[in-house]
């Protein structure tokens, strides 16, 4: 009401601001061809003309693969307000289905908790696609549990249509599970290769530019977003970059070491839980592993803003099925929900005062993961011993 259905007065940003880059990318694809997708000057003009005057410049560089713009071209033919309403309605519908897909015991209460998690509301107001990422993960889990592995892989692979870097955890899980069932891996590779084929054969010029830009970002040769204020990245790379701003090489080395540690930890957890599942507690092990894969995605992602942490809804919901009445689990969830939304402001306050910062998001997530991992491993060991005692 304060923003007259146009501005989010809590953040002083236009509603669906991030959707603007997709709408503009679709427009550029239709009117100028895909080769112009990553032209900043053209993108700035198209976005300004699309959103109209809002009291300041609004420009979000298109940072997705070219096939994303190709897929969004039909919706971009509609006026931006109409597209934003359609997008918001679809986002809400996807969110409402998540508790049912995950099999939570009290879906209405789960929905209230989901809507109370600030990253969800932040992404929804910004017109982000984080809700669709969460829905794709939930759908993949629903299919995976029903032995429809190929379709589960397709569902996760669809995330690569808009955020290729957010499929890391499930990819690792499916690789480790390949001997039990190779179909999820096949489905994931099928959709990934299909998207890559669209880029390489239908959009070669744009694909080459996107690949060059991505390589420079990953190697640190250029920033992800030149005008992004420090502290907005909730990633391991962002954490060490703020902690060691005068030693970027050391920061990148520490981030790489962290990534290796995360992968090794997940492999170890997978072996422990799969050993437990052979003793008759496979549903619990499956829930824990898929939840862990979601967390691993955020722990290894090279780029993640606050709204990307909407994905934490999935591990919280899955683990609540087995541990929802445990006080330590509830405390861990509340800790994340309370601190993560404030983490960007806290990090920027430290930068202003000291020039360096300990970004609170990653340490808080690490504490929560440690608490939950202890609960999961303890419960798995108890179940295994009980099964062995019965024999």
Spatial neighbors of 239 by CB under 8 A, at least 6 apart, are 255, 358, 359, 361, 362
Q: What is the reported pLDDT for 356?
A: 92
Alpha-carbon 165 to chain mean position: 8
Most confident range (mean pLDDT) of 171-185, 223-237, 267-281 is: 171-185
pLDDT exceeds cutoff 60 at 145? yes
Is the Cβ–Cβ distance between 233 and 357 less than 8 Å? no
* H, E, C per residue of 244-288: CCCCHHHHHHHHHHHHHHHHHHHHHHHHHHHHHHCCCCHHHHHHH
Paired with 13 in beta bridges are: 8
Residue 128 neighbours by CB distance under 10 Å: 27
Average pLDDT across the chain, whole number: 86
Residue 382 tokens read as: 């108890």
Q: Quickly tell me which residue has 């422990």 as its tokens.
A: 272
Work out the percent of the chain whose per-residue pLDDT is above 70.
Answer: 89
**Whole-structure pTM value:** 0.90
Q: What is the reported pLDDT for 68?
A: 86
More reliable by pLDDT, 19 or 280: 19
Planar angle of CA 33, 75, 197, nearest 5 degrees: 50
pLDDT exceeds cutoff 60 at 138? yes
Q: How confident is the model at residue 222 (pLDDT cuts 50, 70, 90)?
A: low
Q: What is the reported pLDDT for 142?
A: 96
More reliable by pLDDT, 281 or 247: 247
* Among 77, 25, 20, CA closest to 52: 20
Tens-place pLDDT, residues 335-349? 999 998 899 999 999
pLDDT exceeds cutoff 70 at 386? no
pLDDT exceeds cutoff 70 at 3? no
* H, E, C per residue of 4-32: CCCEECCCCEECCCCHHHHHHHHHHHHHC
Tens-place pLDDT, residues 41-70? 888 888 888 877 666 677 888 888 888 888
More reliable by pLDDT, 262 or 217: 262
């Amino acid at each position: 009401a304060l923003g007259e259905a146009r501005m989010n007065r809590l953040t002083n940003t236009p509603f669906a601001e991030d959707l603007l880059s997709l709408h503009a990318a679709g427009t550029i694809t239709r009117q100028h061809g895909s080769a112009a997708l990553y032209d900043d000057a053209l993108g700035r003009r198209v976005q300004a003309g699309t959103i109209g005057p809002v009291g300041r410049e609004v420009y979000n560089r298109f940072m997705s693969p070219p096939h994303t713009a190709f897929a969004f071209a039909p919706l971009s033919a509609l006026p931006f307000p109409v597209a934003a309403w359609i997008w918001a309605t679809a986002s809400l519908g996807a969110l409402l289905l998540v508790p049912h897909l995950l099999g939570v015991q009290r879906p209405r209460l789960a929905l209230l908790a989901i809507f109370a998690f600030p990253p969800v509301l932040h992404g929804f107001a910004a017109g982000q696609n984080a809700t669709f990422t969460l829905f794709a993960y939930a759908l993949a889990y629903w299919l995976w549990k029903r032995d429809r592995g190929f379709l589960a892989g397709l569902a996760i692979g669809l995330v690569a249509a808009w955020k290729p870097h957010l499929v890391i955890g499930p990819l690792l899980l499916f690789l480790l599970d390949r001997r039990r069932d190779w179909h999820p891996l096949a489905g994931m590779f099928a959709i990934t290769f299909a998207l890559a084929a669209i880029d390489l054969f239908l959009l070669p010029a744009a694909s080459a530019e996107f690949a060059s830009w991505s390589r420079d970002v990953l190697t640190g040769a250029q920033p992800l977003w030149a005008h992004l204020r420090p502290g907005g990245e909730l990633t391991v790379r962002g954490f060490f970059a703020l902690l060691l701003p005068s030693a970027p090489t050391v920061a990148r080395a520490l981030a790489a070491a962290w990534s290796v540690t995360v992968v090794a930890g997940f492999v170890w957890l997978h072996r422990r839980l799969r050993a437990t599942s052979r003793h008759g507690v496979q549903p619990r092990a499956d829930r824990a592993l898929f939840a862990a894969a979601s967390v691993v995605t955020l722990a290894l992602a090279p780029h993640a803003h606050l709204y990307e942490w909407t994905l934490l809804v999935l591990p919280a919901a899955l683990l609540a099925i087995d541990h929802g009445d445990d006080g330590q689990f509830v405390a861990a969830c509340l800790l994340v929900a309370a601190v993560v939304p404030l983490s960007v402001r806290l990090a920027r306050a430290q930068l202003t005062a000291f020039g360096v910062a300990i970004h609170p998001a990653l340490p808080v997530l690490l504490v929560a993961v440690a608490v939950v991992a202890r609960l999961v491993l303890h419960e798995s060991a108890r179940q295994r011993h009980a099964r062995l005692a019965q024999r």
